């Protein structure tokens, strides 16, 4: 209480001193105002878009980035935003190999009777600094000793069946989010968020069923029918988000982005700082998974546009928008 009184007095004395000095020096009022506006006041009142020291992703003023980044395209499906525009719905239907007769709005309604329908991660603001590690599955992680560095992020995002056990020193031991589709699903512990990538309506029917009656046993082939995971932590990537990544970032007409690229884009949208591990080839030029033997003959990327996706990742790095750890 007492301190406040003293602080106030000191502040008033200082202010008077400044005014007296300025008057004696005959600094014109305009200049005085200018001084106050541009340094002191600005410094005291200006709010940073996020609380990270370095930079805040969504607020980046990089031109190349802002031509592509669409702040308003939310990466997750919620009760509030599940309606799809016709062109997105029609594109999404072309990905499905089976002619599904299911009614989209009924499928969604059923989904959100099993998992929460709330809107998450819309908390960007001056008090948030969320750091995220996106961990791909590349063999360039082998021998990297990135484990502790990866675990040091708020969110650690992994994909598909990538194991942690036995690889901790290179890939870390923490997983806050795991991304997969039905055909690449694994059981999770109950502290991990699951983000399902729906490439077809059946994928949404699968997760609904896998968390309830287990009636969906096949998609493109036999899949896990009863999934162990914490229902309250399950989320679905928005089909409109996949569409946006495909069109705005990759300019694709056919096909869809790779899982790794979708996870990276997800991170760019919900995090303030993003570090990227385990993407691309290893230093020998081999593309393989860190949990598999390096092949004798090196594999090239197939269906996914690995080339363009990789170029974009390098560009993001060059523009200081992500920290890319190239591995070994």
Q: Catalog residues that contact ligand NAG under the rule CB under 6 A.
A: 78-80, 103, 105-106, 117-119, 147-148, 151, 173, 190
| Catalytic residue chosen out of the listed positions 104, 121, 167, 304 | 304
Alpha-carbon gap, residue 95 to 255, rounded angstroms: 7
Rounded to whole angstroms, how far apart are CA atoms 134 and 138? Answer: 12
- Closest distance between ligand NAG and the C-beta of residue 174, in Å? 7
**CB 247 within 8 Å of CB 68:** no
Note if 289 is an active site residue.
Answer: no
Comparing C-alpha atoms, which of 254, 253, 248, 255 is closest to residue 312?
248
Instruction: Write down the least CB distance from residue 102 to ligand NAG, Å.
Output: 9
Cβ distance to ligand NAG smaller for residue 25 or 94:
94
| HEC readout, 134-178 | EECCEHHHCCCCCHHHHHCCCEEEEECCCCCCCCHHHHCCCCCEE
Name the residue nearer to ligand NAG (CB basis): 190 or 255: 190
Q: Which two tokens stand for residue 228?
A: 């162990």
Minimum Å gap between C-beta 212 and ligand NAG is: 16
CB 2 → ligand NAG: shortest distance, Å?
A: 45
Question: CB of 54 within 8 A of CB of 60?
Answer: no
| Residues ≥6 apart with Cβ < 8 Å to 216 | 202, 205, 206, 209, 210, 223, 225
Which residue bears the tokens 């090196």? 298
Between residues 147 and 280, which has the closer beta carbon with respect to ligand NAG? 147
Rounded distance between C-alpha atoms, residue 212 and residue 216, angstroms:
10
Closest contact distance (angstroms) between CB of 200 and ligand NAG is 17
Residue 256 bears catalytic tag = yes
| ∠ Cα 96 100 105 (to 5°) | 105
**Of 173 and 317, CB closest to ligand NAG:** 173
Alpha helices by DSSP H, listed for the chain, are: 2-24, 29-35, 42-45, 63-68, 86-94, 104-114, 147-151, 168-171, 201-210, 239-244, 259-270, 306-318
**What is the smallest separation between the CB atom of 170 and ligand NAG, expressed in angstroms?**
11
Cβ-based nearer residue to ligand NAG, 25 or 106: 106
Residue 49 in contact with residue 123, Cβ under 8 Å?
A: no
Which of 42, 118 has the CB closer to ligand NAG?
118
CA dihedral 262, 268, 273, 276 (to 10 degrees): 20
256, 269, 290, 325: which one is catalytic?
256
Q: By C-beta, is 151 or 315 nearer to ligand NAG?
A: 151
**Minimal distance, residue 73 CB to ligand NAG, in Å:** 16
Enzyme catalytic residues: 256, 304
């Amino acid at each position: 209480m007492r301190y406040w009184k003293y602080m106030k007095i000191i502040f008033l004395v200082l202010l008077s001193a400044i005014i007296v000095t300025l008057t004696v020096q005959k600094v014109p009022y305009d200049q005085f105002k200018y001084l106050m506006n541009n340094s002191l006041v600005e410094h005291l009142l200006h709010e940073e878009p996020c609380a990270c020291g370095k930079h805040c992703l969504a607020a980046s003023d990089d031109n190349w980035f802002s031509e592509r980044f669409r702040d308003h395209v939310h990466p997750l499906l919620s009760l509030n935003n599940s309606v799809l525009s016709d062109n997105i719905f029609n594109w999404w239907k072309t990905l499905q190999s089976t002619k599904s007769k299911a009614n989209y709005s009924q499928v969604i309604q059923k989904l959100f009777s099993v998992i929460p329908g709330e809107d998450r991660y819309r908390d960007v603001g001056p008090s948030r600094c969320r750091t995220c590690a996106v961990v791909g599955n590349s063999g360039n992680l082998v021998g990297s000793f990135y484990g502790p560095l990866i675990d040091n992020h708020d969110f650690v995002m992994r994909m598909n069946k990538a194991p942690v056990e036995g690889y901790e020193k290179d890939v870390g031991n923490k997983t806050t989010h795991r991304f997969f589709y039905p055909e690449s699903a694994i059981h999770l512990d109950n502290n991990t968020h699951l983000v399902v990538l729906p490439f077809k309506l059946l994928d949404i029917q699968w997760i609904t069923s896998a968390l309830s009656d287990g009636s969906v046993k096949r998609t493109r082939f036999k899949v896990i029918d009863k999934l162990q995971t914490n229902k309250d932590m399950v989320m679905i990537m928005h089909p409109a988000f996949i569409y946006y990544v495909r069109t705005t970032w990759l300019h694709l007409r056919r096909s869809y982005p790779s899982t790794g690229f979708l996870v990276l884009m997800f991170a760019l949208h919900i995090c303030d700082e993003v570090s990227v591990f385990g993407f691309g080839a290893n230093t020998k030029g081999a593309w393989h998974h860190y949990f598999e033997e390096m092949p004798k003959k090196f594999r090239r990327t197939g269906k996914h546009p690995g080339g363009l996706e990789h170029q974009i990742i390098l560009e993001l790095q060059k523009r200081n928008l992500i920290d890319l750890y190239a591995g070994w």
